[in-house]
Amino acid sequence: MNSTAVRTAIASMVLGIVSVSLCVPAILLSFFLWLLGMVTALASLTCGILAIVMSTRASAISPAGRAVAGLILGIIGTSIAGLLLLCLLLLRIIL
Protein backbone atom coordinates (compact mmCIF):
# COMPACT_ATOMS: atom_id res chain seq x y z
CA MET A 1 0.00 0.00 0.00
CA ASN A 2 1.39 3.39 -0.92
CA SER A 3 1.74 6.30 1.49
CA THR A 4 -1.30 8.16 0.14
CA ALA A 5 -3.53 5.15 0.75
CA VAL A 6 -2.12 4.75 4.26
CA ARG A 7 -2.77 8.42 5.06
CA THR A 8 -6.30 8.18 3.69
CA ALA A 9 -6.93 5.02 5.72
CA ILE A 10 -5.74 6.72 8.91
CA ALA A 11 -7.88 9.78 8.14
CA SER A 12 -10.88 7.52 7.60
CA MET A 13 -10.38 5.75 10.91
CA VAL A 14 -9.87 9.00 12.86
CA LEU A 15 -12.92 10.64 11.26
CA GLY A 16 -14.98 7.54 12.01
CA ILE A 17 -14.01 7.62 15.67
CA VAL A 18 -14.80 11.33 15.86
CA SER A 19 -18.17 10.88 14.16
CA VAL A 20 -19.30 8.16 16.56
CA SER A 21 -18.04 10.11 19.56
CA LEU A 22 -19.99 13.19 18.39
CA CYS A 23 -23.22 11.40 17.48
CA VAL A 24 -23.63 9.51 20.75
CA PRO A 25 -23.69 12.61 23.03
CA ALA A 26 -25.90 14.38 20.49
CA ILE A 27 -28.72 12.11 21.63
CA LEU A 28 -28.86 14.06 24.88
CA LEU A 29 -27.22 17.38 24.13
CA SER A 30 -27.74 19.32 20.96
CA PHE A 31 -28.44 19.50 17.26
CA PHE A 32 -25.02 21.05 16.60
CA LEU A 33 -23.19 17.88 17.67
CA TRP A 34 -25.48 15.84 15.43
CA LEU A 35 -24.60 18.00 12.44
CA LEU A 36 -20.85 17.72 13.09
CA GLY A 37 -21.22 13.97 13.58
CA MET A 38 -23.01 13.59 10.26
CA VAL A 39 -20.39 15.62 8.38
CA THR A 40 -17.48 13.66 9.86
CA ALA A 41 -19.27 10.35 9.26
CA LEU A 42 -19.73 11.17 5.59
CA ALA A 43 -16.08 12.24 5.33
CA SER A 44 -15.06 8.97 6.99
CA LEU A 45 -17.11 6.97 4.50
CA THR A 46 -15.53 8.82 1.59
CA CYS A 47 -11.96 8.40 2.89
CA GLY A 48 -12.57 4.73 3.70
CA ILE A 49 -13.82 3.96 0.22
CA LEU A 50 -10.95 5.88 -1.36
CA ALA A 51 -8.36 4.07 0.79
CA ILE A 52 -9.80 0.66 -0.06
CA VAL A 53 -9.85 1.47 -3.79
CA MET A 54 -6.28 2.83 -3.69
CA SER A 55 -4.99 -0.21 -1.81
CA THR A 56 -6.58 -2.66 -4.23
CA ARG A 57 -5.22 -0.72 -7.21
CA ALA A 58 -1.75 -0.82 -5.66
CA SER A 59 -1.94 -4.62 -5.99
CA ALA A 60 -2.26 -5.20 -2.27
CA ILE A 61 -3.86 -8.51 -1.45
CA SER A 62 -6.42 -7.04 0.90
CA PRO A 63 -7.33 -3.52 2.02
CA ALA A 64 -5.70 -2.15 5.13
CA GLY A 65 -7.45 -2.77 8.41
CA ARG A 66 -7.53 0.94 9.15
CA ALA A 67 -9.45 1.63 5.95
CA VAL A 68 -12.02 -1.04 6.75
CA ALA A 69 -12.29 0.16 10.35
CA GLY A 70 -12.84 3.74 9.15
CA LEU A 71 -15.47 2.58 6.69
CA ILE A 72 -17.33 0.61 9.36
CA LEU A 73 -17.15 3.48 11.86
CA GLY A 74 -18.39 5.84 9.17
CA ILE A 75 -21.36 3.55 8.54
CA ILE A 76 -22.10 3.39 12.27
CA GLY A 77 -21.82 7.18 12.62
CA THR A 78 -24.07 7.75 9.62
CA SER A 79 -26.61 5.28 10.99
CA ILE A 80 -26.70 6.96 14.40
CA ALA A 81 -26.98 10.41 12.82
CA GLY A 82 -29.75 9.20 10.52
CA LEU A 83 -31.69 7.74 13.41
CA LEU A 84 -31.31 10.99 15.34
CA LEU A 85 -32.60 12.96 12.37
CA LEU A 86 -35.55 10.60 12.06
CA CYS A 87 -36.32 11.00 15.77
CA LEU A 88 -36.10 14.79 15.50
CA LEU A 89 -38.46 14.80 12.54
CA LEU A 90 -40.94 12.47 14.27
CA LEU A 91 -40.91 14.60 17.41
CA ARG A 92 -41.64 17.73 15.37
CA ILE A 93 -44.59 15.99 13.71
CA ILE A 94 -45.97 14.61 16.98
CA LEU A 95 -45.45 17.79 19.01
User: How confident is the model over 62-88, as pLDDT tens digits?
Assistant: 667 888 888 898 899 888 888 888 888
Cα 60 from chain centroid (whole Å)? 23
Q: What is the four-CA torsion angle of 52, 54, 58, 64, rounded to 10 degrees?
A: -30
At what angle are helices 31-57 and 65-94 packed, to 10 degrees?
A: 150
- Which pLDDT tens digit goes with each residue over 39-59? 888 888 888 888 888 888 876
- The predicted structure's pLDDT at residue 6: 83
Q: Is the dihedral of CA 72, 73, 76, 79 positive or negative?
A: negative
- Which pLDDT tens digit goes with each residue over 4-38? 788 888 888 888 888 888 887 877 776 677 788 88
3-state secondary structure of 63: coil
Q: For residues 18 and 75, is the Cβ–Cβ distance under 8 A? A: no
- The predicted structure's pLDDT at residue 56: 80
Q: What is the value of pTM for the model shown? A: 0.80
